Structure 1
Amino acid sequence: MRPDDLALLRTPGVPTVSPDGRMAVVAVTRPDPGDDAERSRLWAVPTDGSAPARPLTPGPRDTDPVFSPDGRWLAYRGAEPGGPPQLHLLPTAGGAPRRLTDAPLGTGRPVWSPDSRRLAWTARVPQVDRSGVDRAAQPPWLVTTLRWQADGAGVVTDRHSHLFVLDLPPAGEDDGTPPRPRQVTDGNVDDTDVTWSPDGAELAFVSARHARADRDLVRDVYAVPAAGGTLRRVTDGRAECARPAYDPSGDWIWLTARLELGRDGLDVVGRGATLCRVRATGGALEPVLAPAATDRGDATPATVLAGRAAHLGVHSRGAVELLRVPLDGGSPEALVDGPFTVHGLAAAGGVVVATVGHNRSAGELIAVTPGRRRLLTGFGRALGATGRLHRSEERTATAPDGAEVHGWVTVPGGPGPHPVLLCLSDPLRRPEGWSLSVDTQVLVSAGYAVVRCAPRGSPGYGQAHARAVRGAGGTVDADDVTAFLDAVLTDPALDPERVGVMGTGYGGWLATVLTGRTTRFAAAVVDGALTDPAGLVGTSDVGWWFVDQYLGVDPPVPSAATSTPTLVVHGEDDRRFPREQGVRRYVELKRRGVPAELLLFPGEGSDLGRTGRPRHRLARLDHLLRWWARWLPVTPDQDLPGAVVDGAPLPGDHDGRGPLTVRATRLD
């Protein structure tokens, strides 16, 4: 895969299925480097495979489709260029879509009432008008809580998320006047994950409204009358709840939850999100799947109940399997297993439709019926036709304490031995496994063997494996990475004398720890990385609890006394591991005379490599290839492509809007 192949990438989202099970609809996203924008539109896909997928809407940014229970309507979110997403309604019998909302900050995913006459959603409600161009003229933020910012959203202390309901006009009575939604909840809290009761009288949602809500991670399920009124708490204040759904009887609410958070409500390290249920009238959570062996891994925004069963994706050794769990207590059944990642799913009319990817596919839709799985789409055909996607092979190694370390090696074609890049993703947010990694494909196509692994702390290997890093991040997990690298370097196709390391997010923390331990790496890249634990506590949206839980109350200080040349990559608006993390690492290296560069991307958050502006994503890949060609050439006599000449354009600096590359300690 080459950087320019990014334009061929097609990524399907979470599907929806018509009530009769005959048609699926999914949003497919593609990068458009020409216009520097993400494009997405809805596609209709017959679930019996009788016809190819066809585009249903023109875009430019249509997402989150949901069929109404009567099958007459398709609600979805649509956004104009530069505008926030608004709810739209499309008749399934044919006709033009209609915009339903004009929310200042956009809306969340639509959720249908059982009678198909109402829609619910969540949306941020601005308390102060901050829409002006002149940010310096805006009023100040008064911050009184620990939870005052969020990665991807910015400062949220005066724009909390609340529930809304919209009544659609009865058939034949629509005069074209936009219906007015009503706000159902309020307060200085965030409400999410809304769902309807089977009789349509009540809404359940997730919120933190208890006394210690600002100091713990507990999230409860609440219920409120659909017309508005008094809230009642359903769960017992001991878990981090998400994605509730009523069963058809209305007696139970099924959900995903992290249990046993401890007395302070912060003990989440390695706690898998497992399937639970609770009586709709309130009570204690009852785990349905073993909490110590289950961690939900799909992106479906709700718990899917259909055919007297719950359906969900769970992490399993680098894969995300699709499970069917009978509501009556029968044994779970794996509908999709093996080297695949289930990204999202829907079920209706006797068919389950899932978006499934693997290490050479961003995802395709499959239909699962009793005894059969059918591939429905070919969204990745254009990228696959380049012949530039590479297959990964599983490997295992043994850590110093005897634990197994699982991972993957992806090797370019042609004779070896090849230079090696140890690529460490963020195992806490984006674990390695059987899914398409653009970085891996681009680097392997450039001639590097890429080594990836799942050190302790990664999901899908049991709770003991995941909780081993509690208060010890950068110790046992770094040992795992080193053991895995040493083991795979015995492969004659890999060159043990030419090795580099690259880490993203928490993986960047591991890369920082490793370069402080050893001089074995020819160079390093730390991308959106945690590098300064003390500084993270007061600047990150999660730092106030993350450092204590993952690194300990007295976190280690990574050594800057390294000679490893380092490229520091960061999004300017990253609030998870803020840019100060990268800037401090860069400056410390420069002060010690270590070759270092700072690549800073304007306006980007913590997931630059996957969700950044297309031209920024291209620029990032160009700079990675330039950096590795300089410090770890594929062949010893390789010329440096895109040579760095002060004052000259760099690869990826498109239209003067590219990233800022700093080679001095003066940042002004």
Structure 2
Amino acid sequence: MRPDQLDLLTTVSEPEIHPSATWAVVSTSRPSFEVDGYVGQLWRIPLDGSGQPRRITRGRADSGARFSPDGTVLAFLRAVDGKPQLHLMEATGGEPLAVTDQKLGVREFCFSPDGSTIAFTARVPEAGRYGTDDDIPAALEDPRHFTGNKLQMNGLGWLNGRPLQVFTLAVPALDGEPTLKPIGRAKPAPSGEKDDPEAVTLVPRATRVTDDQVDWSNPTFTPDGAALIVSGEAHDGRENDLVDDLYRLELQGKRSGQLTRLTNTGKPKQWIGAAAPVHSSDGKHLFFVGQPLGETGLDFIGHHAQVYVLPATTEKGVKGKPTIVTDASITVASQPRPFGADGVIFTDDHRGSGRVLTATAKGKVEVVFDGALMAQAAAAVGDTVVATVAGSRTMGEVALVRDGSVTVLTDFSAALQQQTSIVDPIEFETTGADGYPVHGWVLKPTRRGKGRTPVLLNIHGGPYAAYHETYFDEFQAYLEAGYAVVACNPRGAMGYGAEHGQAIKGDFGNLDMADILTFLDGALAANPDLDADRVGIMGGSYGGYMTAWIIGHDHRWAGAIVERGFLDGATFVGSSDIGWFFAGEYQGHSAEEMNRQSPMWLTDQVTTPTLVLHSELDLRCPIAQGLNYYGRLKQAGVDAELLVFPGENHELTRSGSPWHRRQRFEKILEFWGRHLPVKA
């Protein structure tokens, strides 16, 4: 794949199955150079062989489709002026009706069991902030006052003054008379109030159910429709831990708005971060995704998401405490959806791939699919199971899962396959000096230059993340340019169990560096066509950390790219949106320990030509990390370069401007062309 072919990359959402189980809906998304943004629509996917997939909406960015319980209404989010707003349309087709006009857009929504009501969440900006007053630009807003640890969020900015709140909305008749904007003599006289409650609106009026400064998410109705189950941080001490709880939020009568806490009640010895609630089809069980957080509520390392269950709540509360129904070998990777009478279906992240699993309230877990394709999300109606899957030659397709095998129903990556050369990864495993197995992949270009092939060692972020055996634009761009790619999931990565993920706690740069270099040396030895004397190293975020750490200890490299790096734990505190807990939990809370594991203090040992790449609005690994590291390299006399992307955050490589993503690839390949040229 060339950089100018980024617009061929199409990703697919989780599937939504119609209650009839005869068709499903997904949304697609792809980068577009024409609009320098992401475009995508909803697609109807027949499940009964009655036809071909077809596009059923034509918005710029439509997503998040959900059917009403009776299947007559299809609700989804459509980006309007960059802000997602809730739209409804008849499931059989027709013009969508906008039903919200939230100032900062709608985040998520759900139908009530009888389909008469929709609950949704939206950020509510404080008056005079975040563009609510045209006369007050951002630079002239009132000062922001904080007393806790949680200040910012990457991709959002400051947290205070725009809490994520819960609303309800009566579903309007889609065949009713449309609401039109009055003009001329019909236009009402102005009241003088900016938010006049009597003003004519073009959307139905929503009712705000919560009125606080808590961010509420994941709304789902109780089976009787009398309440919502929501997730949020409303407990004392929430500024000092990572705990999200489930709450029952009453919707009816005098108790409307009242909250009852369902998780981490009493004095728990082990805290759980709870999210993604869903009721079983029989209405007796409340499943949710929980992350164990230890005694402090901060011990997140290697404690991956699991499925828990509670008895369904009633107005009188809930009896019993959460029970875990999956074990530590399963890393839940998608939103659980109802399956059967008393279970859920979901996907997990497993050794660089993904499986479809089911779990019952009694803890019976079964593998529905574990094959060559990676399952990304799954849903079921009756015995019809549909999953979105990815593979080495596709970023996402819709598949019907039956009897342990899949039938792929779409071809969203057809243009990608037809117009680019795609290289399949070669699975490889080697053993370190301490006997520990290291798992990963080697990819070789189809068009090679003279002699042995130069190699790019890629290191993933996280560290509790992973490379997967699926199409990855990063690798394919380097392969197209003539480089081989070597990539592994060292200790600290996700998908290999809790012990694997926790192995580097308090000791960054030891076992993880050993695993990465062991894997590289093993891959080079097993593939003599790769040039062991011509190797570059690169990585982003934690991968940026490992790149900077390794070039401070090992000097074999033709060049290095340190991208959006976590480069110094001590200065991470207070500047990163996760700095208040991340560096301390991973590296230890003392400055001495953080400095011992900091590549910032190794710059005088670096001899490798290095490109430092960062984004201006990165709040996860703030740009000061990159600027400081670059400055120290220059002072040490290193051949160093700096590339800064304006207007981008930590997600540049995944959701940044398509043109910036293209320019990034071009600059990276230009750097490697100078320091590690492919021999013609």
**Given the two structures, how large is their TM-score scaled by the length of structure 1?**
0.91
- Structure 1, 352-361 or 337-346: larger mean CA deviation: 337-346
Residues 474 and 551 of structure 1 are in contact (CA less than 8 Å); yes or no, is this contact kept in structure 2? no
Residues 282 and 342 of structure 2 are in contact (CA less than 8 Å); yes or no, is this contact kept in structure 1? no
Q: Percent identity?
A: 37
1:557 aligns with 2:598: yes
Distance (Å, rounded) in 1 between the aligned partners of 2:360 and 2:262: 23
Deviation at 1:329, TM superposition (A): 4.0
Residue type of the alignment partner of 2:143: P
Residue type of the alignment partner of 1:154: G
Match of 2:295 among 258, 263, 276: 263
Residue type of the alignment partner of 1:437: F
Per-residue CA deviation, residues 239-258 of structure 1 (Å, 9 max, x unaligned), is 01111112234332101111
Residue type of the alignment partner of 1:365: V
Deviation at 1:93, TM superposition (A): 2.4
Distance (Å, rounded) in 2 between the aligned partners of 1:187 and 1:535: 32
Distance (Å, rounded) in 2 between the aligned partners of 1:568 and 1:552: 26
Distance (Å, rounded) in 2 between the aligned partners of 1:481 and 1:155: 36
Residue type of the alignment partner of 1:285: P
Could you say which residue in structure 1 is the equivalent of 2:197?
Answer: none
Residue type of the alignment partner of 1:42: L
1:272 aligns with 2:296: no
Going from structure 1 to structure 2, the CA distance change for 1:429 and 1:115 (only over 3 Å counts) comes to farther
Residue type of the alignment partner of 2:303: R
Per-residue CA deviation, residues 554-598 of structure 1 (Å, 9 max, x unaligned), is 212211120111111111111111111111111111112211111
Could you say which residue in structure 2 is the equivalent of 1:425?
Answer: 460
Distance (Å, rounded) in 1 between the aligned partners of 2:303 and 2:321: 18
Deviation at 1:372, TM superposition (A): 5.2
Deviation at 1:48, TM superposition (A): 2.5
Could you say which residue in structure 1 is the equivalent of 2:521?
Answer: 486
Residues 101 and 203 of structure 2 are in contact (CA less than 8 Å); yes or no, is this contact kept in structure 1? no
Match of 1:447 among 467, 482, 490: 482
1:317 aligns with 2:354: no
Residues 326 and 363 of structure 2 are in contact (CA less than 8 Å); yes or no, is this contact kept in structure 1? no
Could you say which residue in structure 2 is the equivalent of 1:147?
Answer: 150
- Structure 1, 621-630 or 220-229: larger mean CA deviation: 220-229
Deviation at 1:323, TM superposition (A): 0.7
- Structure 1, 336-345 or 355-364: larger mean CA deviation: 336-345
Per-residue CA deviation, residues 632-657 of structure 1 (Å, 9 max, x unaligned), is 1112xx6xxxxxxxxxxxxxxxxxxx
Match of 1:409 among 442, 446, 454: 442
Task: State the secondary structure of the residue aligned to 1:396.
Answer: strand
Distance (Å, rounded) in 2 between the aligned partners of 1:476 and 1:85: 44
Deviation at 1:232, TM superposition (A): 0.2
Could you say which residue in structure 1 is the equivalent of 2:115?
Answer: 116
Deviation at 1:343, TM superposition (A): 2.1
Deviation at 1:430, TM superposition (A): 4.3
Residues 31 and 38 of structure 2 are in contact (CA less than 8 Å); yes or no, is this contact kept in structure 1? yes
Alignment of 1:204-283 (within 5 A): 204-227=229-252, 228-236=256-264, 238-259=271-292, 261-279=293-311, 280=313, 281-283=318-320
Alignment of 1:153-168 (within 5 A): 153-168=156-171
Distance (Å, rounded) in 1 between the aligned partners of 2:282 and 2:371: 34
Distance (Å, rounded) in 2 between the aligned partners of 1:315 and 1:411: 25
Task: State the secondary structure of the residue aligned to 2:434.
Answer: coil
Alignment of 1:493-572 (within 5 A): 493-553=529-589, 554-555=593-594, 556-558=597-599, 559-561=602-604, 562-572=606-616
- Residues matched between the structures, number: 630
Residues 570 and 600 of structure 1 are in contact (CA less than 8 Å); yes or no, is this contact kept in structure 2? yes
Residue type of the alignment partner of 2:35: D
Could you say which residue in structure 2 is the equivalent of 1:641?
Answer: none
Per-residue CA deviation, residues 407-431 of structure 1 (Å, 9 max, x unaligned), is 0000112565211100011144642
- Structure 1, 412-421 or 601-610: larger mean CA deviation: 412-421
Distance (Å, rounded) in 2 between the aligned partners of 1:429 and 1:216: 19
Task: State the secondary structure of the residue aligned to 1:517.
Answer: coil
Deviation at 1:126, TM superposition (A): 0.7
Going from structure 1 to structure 2, the CA distance change for 1:156 and 1:42 (only over 3 Å counts) comes to same
Gaps of 5+ in 2: 180-201, 266-270
Alignment of 1:588-599 (within 5 A): 588-599=632-643
Residues 285 and 342 of structure 2 are in contact (CA less than 8 Å); yes or no, is this contact kept in structure 1? no
Deviation at 1:333, TM superposition (A): 2.5
Going from structure 1 to structure 2, the CA distance change for 1:459 and 1:372 (only over 3 Å counts) comes to closer
Going from structure 1 to structure 2, the CA distance change for 1:450 and 1:171 (only over 3 Å counts) comes to closer
Could you say which residue in structure 1 is the equivalent of 2:14?
Answer: 14
Could you say which residue in structure 2 is the equivalent of 1:647?
Answer: none
Residues 279 and 338 of structure 2 are in contact (CA less than 8 Å); yes or no, is this contact kept in structure 1? no
Going from structure 1 to structure 2, the CA distance change for 1:595 and 1:171 (only over 3 Å counts) comes to closer
Deviation at 1:400, TM superposition (A): 2.8
Distance (Å, rounded) in 2 between the aligned partners of 1:359 and 1:406: 17
1:74 aligns with 2:74: yes
Distance (Å, rounded) in 1 between the aligned partners of 2:533 and 2:572: 35
Residues 307 and 350 of structure 1 are in contact (CA less than 8 Å); yes or no, is this contact kept in structure 2? no
Distance (Å, rounded) in 1 between the aligned partners of 2:374 and 2:157: 30
Deviation at 1:305, TM superposition (A): 3.7
Could you say which residue in structure 1 is the equivalent of 2:672?
Answer: 628
- Structure 1, 45-54 or 129-138: larger mean CA deviation: 129-138
Per-residue CA deviation, residues 256-278 of structure 1 (Å, 9 max, x unaligned), is 1112x222211110002111112
Residues 393 and 424 of structure 2 are in contact (CA less than 8 Å); yes or no, is this contact kept in structure 1? yes
Could you say which residue in structure 1 is the equivalent of 2:221?
Answer: 196
**Given the two structures, how large is their TM-score scaled by the length of structure 2?**
0.90
- Structure 1, 547-556 or 93-102: larger mean CA deviation: 547-556
Residue type of the alignment partner of 1:413: T
- Structure 1, 513-522 or 221-230: larger mean CA deviation: 221-230
Deviation at 1:371, TM superposition (A): 6.0
Distance (Å, rounded) in 2 between the aligned partners of 1:466 and 1:90: 45
Residues 206 and 242 of structure 1 are in contact (CA less than 8 Å); yes or no, is this contact kept in structure 2? yes
Could you say which residue in structure 2 is the equivalent of 1:392?
Answer: 425
Distance (Å, rounded) in 2 between the aligned partners of 1:438 and 1:172: 44
Could you say which residue in structure 2 is the equivalent of 1:655?
Answer: none
Residue type of the alignment partner of 1:28: T
Task: State the secondary structure of the residue aligned to 1:85.
Answer: strand
- Structure 1, 477-486 or 429-438: larger mean CA deviation: 429-438
Q: CA RMSD in A?
A: 1.8
Per-residue CA deviation, residues 341-380 of structure 1 (Å, 9 max, x unaligned), is 2222222243121110023210100012356532110000
Going from structure 1 to structure 2, the CA distance change for 1:94 and 1:303 (only over 3 Å counts) comes to closer
Distance (Å, rounded) in 2 between the aligned partners of 1:304 and 1:567: 48
Residues 272 and 293 of structure 1 are in contact (CA less than 8 Å); yes or no, is this contact kept in structure 2? no
Distance (Å, rounded) in 1 between the aligned partners of 2:511 and 2:61: 43
Deviation at 1:94, TM superposition (A): 2.6
Residue type of the alignment partner of 1:458: A
Per-residue CA deviation, residues 65-113 of structure 1 (Å, 9 max, x unaligned), is 1111110111000013x43110000111232100000101100122111
Per-residue CA deviation, residues 171-208 of structure 1 (Å, 9 max, x unaligned), is 77666462211111232221111111111111001111
Deviation at 1:540, TM superposition (A): 0.7
Could you say which residue in structure 2 is the equivalent of 1:287?
Answer: 324
Deviation at 1:314, TM superposition (A): 0.8
Distance (Å, rounded) in 1 between the aligned partners of 2:280 and 2:89: 27
1:169 aligns with 2:172: yes
1:333 aligns with 2:377: no
Could you say which residue in structure 2 is the equivalent of 1:356?
Answer: 389
